[in-house]
C-alpha cells in the first residue's frame, strides 16, 4: 500500500469524478483507476462503485476513506513535527463562520509575529460545514459558535461572547430610532440581514420572535460588506455582533445601539480531539490563549460616543 493510493482515493471522493481527480493528482485517469483497484485487491474488498461513471463509494469504501484521511493527516503532522527547522512552516487551514471573518485577522496577526513562516488558508463556511470538514480532515481549526452540538467530540477554546447591536444609517431619524435599544421596538425599521440559512440569522430571528416582532427584511445577503454598504447607501438598518464593528477602520460614523434584552453567543476555536495537537494547530492555539478579545470588543461599546455614533468601514 502506498500513500499515493490513499491520496488518489481521498481526491476521488472529493471530486466525485475520475477525470477531475486524475487531473488534480497529475496522473492519467487509467493510472488513478489502476492504483485504486490495486488498493482494493490488497484489502480484499470493493471500495468504489463503478458504472460508466463514478457512482460513489461502497460502505466498506467509506470506512477506508476515513482511515485514508487520518493516515494522510498523521503523515503531514509527522513531517511538521520532525522538521529540522526551528521555524514552523506550512499552511493552517481555518474554517470561519461569516460573522467572525473580520475578527480572524486579529488571531492571524498575532500568530504571524510568533511564526513568520506560517501561511493561512481561511474559508468562510457555515458552522455545520466547519464540523464536517474538520471530521474529513479538510480543515485544521474551526472559528465558530460554541454550543453542545458544536463541542461534542472536539477540543474547544472559548475566546469571547458576541453582543448584538443595531446599526443604523447616518442621519437616520432620531424619532424613528427612539427606544430602538429593545428588540420589541424595531418593528417599523427596514432591515438588511444575513441570509436566512446562516446560523447568525437564525439567532436574530429567534430574538425577534421572542419580542413578538416580524422584522421588515428588504435585503438578504451572505456578505457583511454588502450589509454595511446597504446601511450606508440604501438607508437600511442591520443587526450585527459588536465584534465585527470593533475591528473595522474609521471612514464614517454610523449609529450603533446595543440591543436589549442582551443576546450573546459564545465564539471560539475548535479542533479534532487528538492525543497530541499537530504542530501548526498547537502554534495557533497557544497564540489564541493569550488574546483578550472580549475586553477589546466590549470596550468598543463602552467608549464615549456622541449621539451614539461610532465608526464602521465600508470601502
pLDDT at res. 147:
83
Query: Between the CA atoms of 273, 279, 280 and 281, what dihedral angle is there, to the nearest 10 degrees?
Result: 20
Distance, in Å, from the CA atom of 23 to the CA atom of 93, rounded to the nearest integer, reads: 23
Contacts of 238 (CB under 8 A, 6+ apart): 166, 167, 191, 192, 193, 227, 228, 230, 231
Catalogue all structural domains in the chain, each as residue range(s) with its CATH number.
3-81 (1.10.10.10), 90-160+265-299 (3.40.190.10), 162-263+304-311 (3.40.190.290)
pLDDT at res. 209:
94
Q: Which residue has the higher pLDDT, 139 or 89?
A: 139
Distance, in Å, from the CA atom of 300 to the CA atom of 295, rounded to the nearest integer, reads: 9
Work out the average pLDDT over 135-149: 88
Contacts of 288 (CB under 8 A, 6+ apart): 107, 157, 159, 269
Mean pLDDT: which of 69-78, 100-109, 143-152, 294-303 is highest?
100-109
Is the pLDDT at 314 greater than 50? The verdict is no
pLDDT exceeding 70 applies to what percent of the chain?
86
Is the pLDDT at 262 greater than 50? The verdict is yes
Nearest to 300 by CA among 311, 290, 292, 291: 311
Q: Of 16-20, 166-170, 239-243, 307-311, which range is least confident?
A: 307-311
Is the pLDDT at 46 greater than 70? The verdict is yes
Query: At 254, which helix (H) or strand (E)?
Result: strand 253-258
Q: 12-40 pLDDT, tens per residue?
A: 888 888 888 888 888 888 888 888 888 88
Is the pLDDT at 253 greater than 60? The verdict is no
pLDDT at res. 8:
86
Distance, in Å, from the CA atom of 231 to the CA atom of 228, rounded to the nearest integer, reads: 5
Owner of C-alpha cell 455614533: 309
Q: Which residue has the higher pLDDT, 123 or 70?
A: 123
pLDDT at res. 251:
43
pLDDT at res. 80:
61
Give SS3 for 198.
coil
Contacts of 95 (CB under 8 A, 6+ apart): 123, 125, 129, 130, 133, 134, 139, 141, 142, 143, 144
Residue 28 Ramachandran class (φ > 0 left, ψ -120 to 50 alpha, else beta): beta
Confidence of residue 79 (pLDDT cuts 50, 70, 90): low
Q: Of 71-75, 145-149, 151-155, 166-170, which range is least confident?
A: 71-75
Nearest to 166 by CA among 158, 176, 152: 176
Q: For the chain, what is the mean pLDDT?
A: 83
What is the DSSP annotation of 16-27? --HHHHHHHTTS
Amino acid at each position: 500500500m502506498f500513500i499515493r493510493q490513499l491520496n488518489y482515493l481521498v481526491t476521488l471522493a472529493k471530486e466525485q469524478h475520475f477525470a477531475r481527480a486524475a487531473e488534480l493528482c497529475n496522473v492519467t485517469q487509467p493510472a488513478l483507476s489502476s492504483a485504486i483497484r490495486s488498493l482494493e485487491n490488497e484489502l480484499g474488498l470493493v471500495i468504489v462503485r463503478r458504472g460508466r461513471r463514478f457512482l460513489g463509494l461502497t460502505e466498506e469504501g467509506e470506512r477506508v476513506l476515513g482511515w485514508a484521511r487520518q493516515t494522510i493527516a498523521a503523515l503531514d503532522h509527522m513531517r511538521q513535527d520532525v522538521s529540522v527547522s526551528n521555524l514552523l512552516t506550512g499552511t493552517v487551514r481555518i474554517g470561519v463562520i461569516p460573522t467572525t471573518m473580520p475578527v480572524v485577522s486579529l488571531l492571524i496577526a498575532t500568530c504571524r509575529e510568533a511564526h513568520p513562516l506560517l501561511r493561512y488558508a481561511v474559508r468562510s463556511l457555515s458552522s455545520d460545514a466547519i464540523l464536517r470538514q474538520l471530521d474529513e480532515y479538510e480543515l485544521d481549526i474551526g472559528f465558530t459558535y460554541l454550543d453542545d452540538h458544536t463541542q461534542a467530540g472536539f477540543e474547544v477554546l472559548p475566546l469571547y461572547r458576541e453582543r448584538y447591536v443595531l446599526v443604523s444609517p447616518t442621519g437616520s431619524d432620531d424619532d424613528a430610532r427612539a427606544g430602538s435599544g429593545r428588540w420589541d421596538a424595531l418593528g417599523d425599521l427596514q432591515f438588511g440581514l444575513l441570509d436566512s440559512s446562516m446560523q447568525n440569522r437564525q439567532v436574530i430571528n429567534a430574538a425577534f420572535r421572542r419580542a413578538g416582532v416580524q422584522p421588515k427584511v428588504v435585503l438578504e445577503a451572505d456578505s457583511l460588506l454588502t450589509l454595511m454598504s446597504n446601511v450606508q447607501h440604501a438607508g437600511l438598518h442591520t443587526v450585527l455582533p459588536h465584534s465585527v464593528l470593533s475591528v473595522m477602520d474609521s471612514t464614517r460614523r454610523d449609529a450603533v445601539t446595543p440591543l436589549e434584552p442582551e443576546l450573546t453567543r459564545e465564539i471560539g476555536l475548535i479542533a479534532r480531539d487528538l492525543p497530541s495537537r499537530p504542530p501548526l494547530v498547537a502554534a495557533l492555539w497557544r497564540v489564541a490563549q493569550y488574546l483578550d478579545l472580549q475586553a477589546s470588543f466590549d470596550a468598543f461599546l463602552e467608549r464615549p460616543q456622541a449621539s451614539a455614533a461610532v465608526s464602521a468601514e465600508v470601502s
